[in-house]
Amino acid sequence: MLVIKSIASLRKTLQKIRQRKKRIGFVPTMGALHEGHLSLIRVCRRENDLTLLSIFINPTQFGPHEDFNKYPRAFKKDSSLAKKEGVDIIFHPSVDEMYSRNHLTFVETRGITDILCGRFRPGHFRGVTTVVSKLLNIVEPDSMYLGQKDAQQVAVLKKMISDLNFSVAVKICPTVREKNGLAMSSRNQYLTPKQREEASILYRTLKTAKTKILQGEKNISSLLKSMHQQITEHSSLKVEYIECVHPQTFERIHSIKGRVMLALAGRLDKTRLIDNIVLNIK
């Protein structure tokens, strides 16, 4: 496994690989790898000749009062996990390598970024679309692997890729969860054992809502209200949003039919947690 830190040497290495007509699969991450990340790597390995993992904590996607400085950094452990999983190349650039001092260009997708997480994290998706554009230009992969856990990120990046004509196939992998249903996340490291249990309320609430829908619930506002109630009665989670949206456009939907996404976000103390499920209702 190669660890490459410079854009120039990554480009040089990949050029040779591309000349040999090898399929390049790309898994972008911010590190502190867990089973969610590893599941992406496994699918990527199955579908490509070469698996490239990027580990880069991207400062432009963090707000001024967010956790950029304390975000978990565990490169040694990450690289040994990556090696075990058969990753071929880790791209691990510094912030200076990715953003020169006078970096003035940003990529922004409108509309879809103003709602849900975007409403609570202004500028976040602009940072994500900017860094992913840069990474796609550097790596030029055949396929990129993303997790359904970050559903809005998936929708935003798919829109950006289509609008800007990037030639990469986007593959979405299902959310990997802890035994208690909590979606795995590098930020779960901030939680105490008690909070980890408490945090399982997100998925439990999504599952209760799913049952209600399957039993014929049609009224979205009373469904969302009951979800809010379930969370506040059983946890100290401060809800940011609970929404029922179309999984691609992220527009609010007014009748439960076809593909429906239930998405929610909240804070346990200072830790921000998100989750979602997608249903297909006949």
Q: Looking at the annotation, which residues are catalytic?
A: 37
The reply to whether 150 sits near ligand AMP by the rule CB under 6 A is yes
Residue number with CB closer to ligand AMP (14 or 55): 55
From 82, 117, 161, 183, residue interacting with ligand AMP (rule: CB under 6 A) = 183
Output the six-digit token pair for 73. 């950094």
Q: Are the beta carbons of 110 and 5 closer than 8 angstroms?
A: no
From 53, 81, 184, 274, residue interacting with ligand AMP (rule: CB under 6 A) = 184
Question: Least distance (Å) from ligand AMP to the CB of residue 195?
Answer: 17
The reply to whether 152 sits near ligand AMP by the rule CB under 6 A is no
Alpha helices in 74-178 (DSSP H): 75-85, 95-98, 117-120, 124-139, 151-163
CA–CA distance, 33 with 31 (Å, rounded to integer): 5
Residue number with CB closer to ligand AMP (152 or 235): 152
The reply to whether 113 sits near ligand AMP by the rule CB under 6 A is no
Nearest residue relative to ligand AMP (C-beta): 147
Q: What is the distance, to the nearest Å, from the Cα of residue 75 to the centroid of all Cα atoms in its chain?
A: 19
CA–CA distance, 206 with 18 (Å, rounded to integer): 43
CA–CA distance, 1 with 178 (Å, rounded to integer): 29
Site string for ligand AMP, 50-69 (x = CB under 6 A): --------------------
The reply to whether 36 sits near ligand AMP by the rule CB under 6 A is yes
From 25, 147, 247, 266, residue interacting with ligand AMP (rule: CB under 6 A) = 147
Question: Least distance (Å) from ligand AMP to the CB of residue 60?
Answer: 13
Buried b (16+ CB within 10 A) or exposed e, 214-243: eeeeeebeebbebbbebbeeebebebbbbb
The reply to whether 149 sits near ligand AMP by the rule CB under 6 A is yes
Helix H or strand E encompassing 7: helix 7-19
List contacts with ligand AMP (CB under 6 A). Answer: 29-30, 36-37, 39-40, 146-147, 149-150, 173, 175-176, 183-186
